[in-house]
Amino acid sequence: MSQQFDLVVIGGGPGGYEAAIRGAQLGMSVACIEKRVHKGKPALGGTCLNVGCIPSKALLDSSHRFEATQHDLAVHGISTGDVSIDIATMLARKDKVVDGLTSGVAALLKGNGIVWLQGTGKLKANKVVEFSPLDGSAAEDIQAKNVILATGSVPINIPVAVVDQDRIVDSTGALEFAEVPKRLGVIGAGVIGLELGSVWRRLGSEVTVFEAMDAFLPMLDKALAKETQKILKKQGLDIQLGAKVSGSELTADGVNVSYEQAGEAKTAQFDRLIVCVGRKAYAEGLLADDSGIKLTERGLIDVNDQCLTSVDGVYAIGDLVRGPMLAHKAMEEGVMAVERIHGHAAQVNYDTIIGVIYTSPEVAWVGLNEQEAVAKGIEVKTGQFALAVNGRALAANETTGFVKFVADAKTDRLLGMHVIGANAGDIVHQGMIALEFVSSVEDLQLMTFAHPTLSEVVHEAALAVDGRAIHAIQRKRK
């Protein structure tokens, strides 16, 4: 007799393992299937913990500290002399952080009585999951009362720059450079490309970023995108917009890149090239022909607002479905799916999903930007306030950036918050909470913010929406 579970989760990334844990908390018998092997060991945590969010942030932090030690301590009266970076030690620290978190997830599954099946899973008819073990032993069918599909995504490959994980790498390979490339090319000026480009630029690389689109970070509020581009350019990132890469050639010294820009054919030479042109859903071998699962025109799994597929009792979450490819979105969708299975009326609020770019300074946003609100026919009012005059920012020498609010001019309802500056990824959560509670701008204006803190800029930006900011001269409004 085959194994039977109340819930089988295919995929052990952030969305999958959180769904499995919540299912166990609610009393379900749960199996989580995960095939990933990271550096020779089976590993939970998906792309995010193993080769994405976490290791990249470890390197971002190391590179930021290196640059700060070189250039930013003198103003505090701290002298350091010559400063060097040991790349091997930096990478070892990154790996240690990853190992600690992935082993922690394994402990959480074990502690919650979840069966971790190491291998692949394929959904067949009637919620039967075919499990194929990593060790090559015979596949077996598992009967599930409910199934959650959570297999995530993989980097998109392009024929003009074929990844060999040596000279030409994807986002995974860019985490493993054994030495700092003197000349580094990055294809794609999206979130991942800018973050990885920033890491190696701070460590000493000459970085050129190629972006086929003419607009820089078009999903951002225009004020935020403009400021981000200006800051990154000042930091030394050479961002080439409207630059479509047409080919690449490996040489004895590195990689030659051919591209077209403004109708002109150009070339550039690099020691290493990172390809960061986006990610695509990973569903290889996931669905049997008789699974009954419907796909969208884009090849994603078709789901409703609660992530239910065309098959009752089968849910799909995260990068497999519509919406931004973000770990925190997958996590909440996983929990929502389990709650729905259990009979609870759970619902993710997709209007308050936060976006963050972990450059230095960070860039973060939630809700509508000004252009999106206007496109919806909303009469808007906005307020913006700079960190440059904030006491805590000045004391910390972190004065770059601003906070901007977008609100409905007629109702005063908050529509969006946009931040660039130190700790932007944390500060923006204040706007997310306000949006969740359908706050007005006046609600934020009437709150007391601790002094001196960076969050006082949030208060001032809210006041600025109505021309009331205290620590800036405001134009008189009629």
Query: Residues with catalytic annotation?
Result: 451
CA distance 430 to 432: 5
What lies within 8 Å, CB to CB, of 185 at 6+ separation is 207, 208, 209, 210, 255, 257, 268, 270, 272, 273, 274
Amino acid at 28: M
Token readout for 325 is 């490819």
CA distance 217 to 110: 42
CA distance 114 to 35: 16
Do 198 and 359 touch, CB atoms closer than 8 A? yes
Closest CA relative to residue 288, chosen from 126, 115, 46:
126
Other beta carbons within 10 angstroms of residue 429's beta carbon come to 14
Residue 144 sits at φ, ψ, to 5 deg, of -120, 140
Token readout for 361 is 């300074």
CA distance 339 to 199: 39
Q: Is the peptide bond before 452 cis (omega within 30 degrees of 0)?
A: yes
**Residues constituting the chain:** 478
Amino acid at 358: Y
